[in-house]
Structure formats: C-alpha cells, structure tokens
Amino acid sequence: MSTMEELTTKEKPQWCPGCGNFSLHMALKGALAELGIPREKTVICTGIGCASKSNHYINVYGYESLHGRSIPVAAGIKLANHELTIIAESGDGDGYGIGSAHFLHSFRRNIDMTYIIHDNGVYGLTTGQASPMSQKGMKTKSTPHGNLETQFNPLAVAIATGGTFVARVFAGDIMYMKDIFKQAILHKGFAFVDVLQPCVSFNKLNTYQWWQQRIYKLDNTYESKDKSAAFVKALEETTSNYEKIPIGVFYKEERPTYESEAPQLKEKPLVKHELAIDAIEKAIDEFI
C-alpha cells in the first residue's frame, strides 16, 4: 500500500503550465494509492514524448523505452513476471502512429496490463507537428495549410480488433479519470484508456473549453457488454462531425489472458522457474 506522498518522486515535472498531463498523472497516482498496489510490484513503461516522461515523476519501477515501443517492453516484463502490475503509457503519436502495429495486436493477445494514451492531437515534445489524432484541416507546424488526413479512431479499432476493456476519459475531469483508471487496472486483460489531454502549447484547436463543449459521459443506461452498440458509440465522434464525443467505458468483456493460457506460465511466473543451464548450453553448442 502506498500513499500519494510515497508515490511522488523528487523530480519536478517539466510539463508546460496548464498541460493536461498534470491531472492525468495525479489521477493515475490516486488510482494506484487507492487500490493499495505496492510500489515495488508496479512497473510503468513509456515510449518517447511529453507523455512518456510520466514515469520520471511516479515512484514505482519505470522503463522509458523507444518511440512507439512501450507496449512490447511492458508485455515482455509482464510475461517474465506476471505477478507485477504493469502500466504502459504513450502519446498519441507514439501509440497510434509509429507504435500502431503493437496497438492492434495487443487486443488479440489480451496480456493483463493497462495501456494509457495521452491523446493531445499533436507531437508535443517535438513542438507541434500533426499526429494521427490531429483533426482534418487542422493547421500545425507540419501541416501549415491544414491537415489533409482524416483522424484515427482508436476506440473503434480497439473494439474491432478484440479489445476487452476500451475506455476514454477527459483530462479536465480528474475524479472520473481516476475511477476509470482503477477499473482498467483491476480488469483482467489488456485494458485501454484513451485520455483527451489538452496540449496548451501546440494544440490551439482542442482546448479544455473545446472538449468541455462536446464531451458527455456514457450513463447507467449504456450497456458496455454490447459490442455493436460500443462500435456505434465509438463512431459517434465522426458521425456527429466531432460535435458529440462520448467518454466512459465503451466496451468490456471477460476473456482468458494470454499468460493464463501459456503452459509455461500457468504454474508460476517465468522468473521463478529454475534456469535450465545445461539445456541452454546444449542449444548454444548446436550453433557453434
């Protein structure tokens, strides 16, 4: 069990004042503290970007990997020791751009971990080029005459490719975000949360106010086990021309995790197996 204070590192966050990463970060720390997950059993893996600095400021194990590679590193750690709580964090460029192949196949695999995307609609760290989440027509450093490409729809892709926990939250609502993070961490399987995260320095279109005017929460009448309904909800942002943007848990199902079905991992975590040195040496000898 860790308190918010214990989860805080001495490093001062380097994000711009007003950045949505601050509240996302507080919500994640709050979720870990309230769930009572021990720090020494938690690992946060990131890629590269403003989002990916997250694990500098949270006092758990951390691994800052390569741009787009937070998922494979996180998956590797989970498969080595599935007793750990694993969280991967990425920016939208990191997760939906260069890391998109990992994103797609994670839903099929269903390794038990949480994947949080800081979805700010730009490449923030490299000072504001268009990302897969930049809206069509949006002017950025790399699209001075307006973005020609349509926006990626991560929720629809996640549902279509076998996601077992698919959610979206808004960085302007910290309590709601914390609640959904807790649900995602507790979910047995690959839990994905897209966070609408204002970048106050480089995304002048999708501001806090812009999101507040458009988002609404899925209410108690919404059935998150209905895949067809979830798909329709995920498409609502496009069908409404970005006038109505739902947030909440879009889809949830129980399905065996990858590690629960892998014969080598059923009995105990890989790290607790004896090292079969003789067999390793024999295998190496065959290649010499």
Ligand X SMILES: Cc1ncc(C[n+]2csc(CCOP(=O)(O)OP(=O)(O)O)c2C)c(N)n1
Residues near ligand SF4, by CB under 6 A:
15-16, 19, 21, 50, 120, 124, 199-202
Q: Rule CB under 5 A: choose which of 92, 173, 179, 259 binds Mg ion.
A: 92
DSSP assigned state of 196? E
Residue whose tokens read 């949480």:
114
Q: Residue 16 binds what, of ligand SF4, Mg ion, ligand X, none (CB under 5 to 8 Å, by partner type)?
A: ligand SF4
Say whether residue 194 binds Mg ion (CB under 5 A).
no
* Range 11-30, binding ligand X (CB under 6 A): none
Amino acid in position 128: G
Say whether residue 120 binds Mg ion (CB under 5 A).
yes
Q: Rounded to an integer, what distance in angstroms lies between the CA atom of residue 154 and that of residue 166?
A: 9
Burial letters 124-150, b for 16+ CB under 10 A, else e: bbbebebbbbbbeebebeebeeebeee
Residue 44 CB, nearest distance to ligand SF4 (Å)?
18
Say whether residue 123 binds ligand X (CB under 6 A).
yes
Closest CA to 85 of 28, 135, 142, 9: 28
Say whether residue 115 binds ligand X (CB under 6 A).
no
Report yes or no: 29 and 58 within 8 Å, Cβ to Cβ.
Answer: yes
Say whether residue 89 binds Mg ion (CB under 5 A).
no
In degrees and rounded to multiples of 5, residue 118 shows phi and psi of -85, 95
Q: Rounded to an integer, what distance in angstroms lies between the CA atom of residue 89 and that of residue 49?
A: 10
Which residue has its beta carbon closest to Mg ion? 91
Which residue has its beta carbon closest to ligand X? 91
Q: Residue 94 binds what, of ligand X, Mg ion, ligand SF4, none (CB under 5 to 8 Å, by partner type)?
A: ligand X
Q: Residue 126 binds what, of ligand SF4, Mg ion, ligand X, none (CB under 5 to 8 Å, by partner type)?
A: ligand X
> What does the binding site for Mg ion look like in residue numbers (CB under 5 A)?
91-93, 120, 124
